Amino acid sequence: MIRSDGLAACGQVNMATASNDEIRILTPSGMLGYGFPVDHFRRGLALKPHAITIDSGSTDSGPQKLGKGEMTCSREAYVKDIEVLLQAQHETRIPVLISSAGGDGTNLHVDVFRDIIAEIAKRRGWQFKLASIYANIDKAHIARELRAGRVEPLGPVPPLDPREIDAATVVVAQMGAEPFLKALDESEGVDVIVSGRAYDPSPTAAMAIRAGFDPALAWHMGKIMECGALCAEPVGRNVMGYLRQDHFEIEPLNPEERCTTASVAAHTLYEKTHPFLLPGPGGTLDLSQCKYEQVTDRRVRVSGSRFIPSNPYTVKLEGAKTSGYRSIFIAGARDPIFIAQIDGLLEKVFAATRAYFSDVPPETYRIIPHLYGKNGVMGDLEPVTTPAHELCIIVEVAAATQSLATAICGKARTTLMHAPYPGRIATAGNLASPFTPLEIPLGEACEFNVYHLMKVDSPTALFPIRYEEIRA
Amino acid sequence: MSAATTPLREIAKVIRSKNAGPFEITLDIVFKTKEDFEAVRQSGVITKELVSQLYNVPTQNIITFGFFDLINAVKITLPRARAQGGVGETDMHAAQQHVPLQEIRVPWPVVS
């Protein structure tokens, strides 16, 4: 089933023999930049994979990446992991596909990864063909599509307000497998692909679909492998996937880990809305009829995956904006007389603070208490109503500028420190402050403000590709 | 039915919460065996109404609620109270919102 112009074109030297009935993919980790055991990775290379895929994307650590251009990991961490991948590419000539550069997958971070790759190649004397695929979406295009009724909320999200498109620092879309397929096909012999925001399984799915295998199995295997060996017990990093005509097999590369039918089947629970229905670019993966078999004590075979194409094709848009500045104070409370009255007391203190700042429009700033030892983690959902013997009080203030946020925060802190309350016998101060500065500036706050599905005519048109020859 | 009850944390293999994207929180209860899973399902204790009450979410807003045989698991997905990571966030990853599920008491051991 391997096309004669397909995988074989991806590398010439020491290329794993492309068999007609199997494609092998090696994924070293669920997140580029977190590091992975290189000895297990090398063990995977010895099994002659046809490609290495790794994702570096996630919205899970918050909106500040999209909102402020931060990356999930440090540049140094990315250099370390990417160098191991390029070394493997240099030795085996198999393609390396990296998706969602920097975590958010913005053009900025695709270029950071591109520069890291070029730097390493220069330093190590390597040369190869690189494709960079970009995923920033033109705001004017989104606004036009919104007016045309082609942008809809994804899940419990408000309909997109055109002002939010403008407010977003940047908007990216999650690409499917097609832009990777295009890059592999347009430029014969492309060795390394670094992409902007992509649906996490896309690189693995693209390699398997390109080799002619069932897209349903390709997406399902990609879905499992994008998390590395998270599907194993205990969870790990390096994982190997073997995709064949009517099934795939999955096995962790750390001999101490094993995949079990339960661990692989349950993997699609993790961080997913539904365990068996997984919507992505171009369609929904349906795993409700899957069969999981234990092949060896460490390897599981999966069959029965189904893919339901969506018509029209949709991509997920992601965007975040900055929303003012935050400052906090952190203080302990130990006095039981004080703790028993904390809610009413905070209300009075915040009212006094707001009265003091009567010149600032009240809707332009917020004061939010976090009471650890009472309901700091669960808020109103906290079922336990008795506070602990000591509280950690964090007061969060969000305002238009950093100095104003800190000023409001300071007023709230000093007012709470010296607030009188009924029965008070500790008259020197109400708070135990562990740190200076007593008010801590947190910088700009960010929030996700675009999380919508957009209909597209072409799965590739929004994702431009740049090809280049990287030379030492 | 036995009069004795046991909290789910003493029965299940996994009880956890996590973001499913920035606007949803998802809760998983995975059982050790098919028998445990079936017994808890048969008890009828875990319902949309109970989830609605524990998480202060109207039943019609529950995105996913189901007992899934293939994986011996209960899956519940709810709208997040606020978009992940914004002002007022208390749990960026929504990783510590599972505790009310741990405390659900079911008739146990099952008397057949």
B110: in domain: no
**B residues 49-88 closer than 8 Å to A (CB):** 54-56, 61, 63-64, 68, 70-73, 75, 77, 79-81, 83-88
Domain count within chain B: 1
| Cα(A417)–Cα(A410) distance, integer angstroms | 10
B26/A266 CB distance under 8 A: no
β-strand A277-280 against A283-286: which pairing, if any? antiparallel
Q: Of A8, A58, A69, which is closest to residue A321 (Cα–Cα)? A: A69
For A37-136, list the strands marked E by DSSP.
Answer: 51-55, 96-99, 128-133
What is chain A's alpha carbon radius of gyration, rounded to the nearest angstrom?
A: 26
Higher model confidence: residue A8 or residue B112? B112
DSSP 8-state code for residue A34: S
pLDDT given for residue A17 in this prediction: 43
pLDDT given for residue A189 in this prediction: 85
Contact present, A97 and A53 (Cβ < 8 Å): yes
B103: in domain: no
For A200-290, list the strands marked E by DSSP.
Answer: 239-243, 248-252, 277-280, 283-286
pTM for the whole thing? 0.92
Per the structure, the complete domain to which residue B19 belongs is given by 5-81
Mean pLDDT by 10 residues, chain A (472 residues): 39 45 97 97 98 92 91 97 98 97 97 98 97 98 98 96 97 98 91 98 97 97 96 96 97 97 91 95 96 97 97 96 97 98 98 98 98 96 93 98 98 98 97 97 96 97 97 84
Token pair in block for residue A399 = 């305002």
Token pair in block for residue B10 = 């003493």
DSSP 8-state code for residue B4: -
pLDDT given for residue B46 in this prediction: 98
| Cα(A112)–Cα(A74) distance, integer angstroms | 11
What mean pLDDT value characterizes chain A?
94
Q: Residue B112 — pLDDT band, cuts 50, 70, 90?
A: low
Residue the block writes with tokens 């290329």: A15
pLDDT given for residue A321 in this prediction: 97
Domain containing residue B58: CATH number: 3.30.70
Contact present, A335 and A308 (Cβ < 8 Å): no
A240 C-beta neighbours (distance < 10 Å), count: 21
Interaxial angle between packed helices A75-92 and A107-124, expressed in degrees from 0 to 180 and rounded to the nearest 10: 60
> Which of B64, B71, B81 is facing A266, going by the closest CB pair?
B71
pLDDT given for residue A14 in this prediction: 35
B87: in domain: no
> Which of B30, B56, B70 is facing A381, going by the closest CB pair?
B56
pLDDT given for residue B12 in this prediction: 97
C-alpha torsion A80→A69→A100→A56, nearest 10: 40
Q: Of A319, A400, A309, A311, which is closest to residue A363 (Cα–Cα)? A: A400
A155/B84 CB distance under 8 A: no
pLDDT given for residue A19 in this prediction: 60
Chain A residues closer than 8 Å to B97 by CB? 377-378, 381
Chain A contact present for B9, CB below 8 A: no
B107: in domain: no
Which phi and psi (to 5°) does residue A45 adopt?
Answer: -60, -35
Which phi and psi (to 5°) does residue A210 adopt?
Answer: -60, -35
* Chain A residue with the nearest C-alpha to that of B18: A271
Q: Is the pLDDT of residue B2 over 70?
A: no
B91: in domain: no
Q: Which helix (H) or strand (E) holds A82?
A: helix A75-92
Q: Is the pLDDT of residue B61 over 50?
A: yes
pLDDT given for residue A187 in this prediction: 82
Mutate to test the interface with B, among A164, A230, A272 (most CBs of B within 10 A): A272
* Chain B residue with the nearest C-alpha to that of A268: B71
Tell me how many residue pairs between chain A and chain B have CB atoms under 8 A apart: 126
> Which of A60, A275, A383 is facing B93, going by the closest CB pair?
A60
3-state SS record for A155-181: CCCCCCCHHHHHHCCEEEECECCHHHH
> Which of B21, B86, B100 is facing A451, going by the closest CB pair?
B21
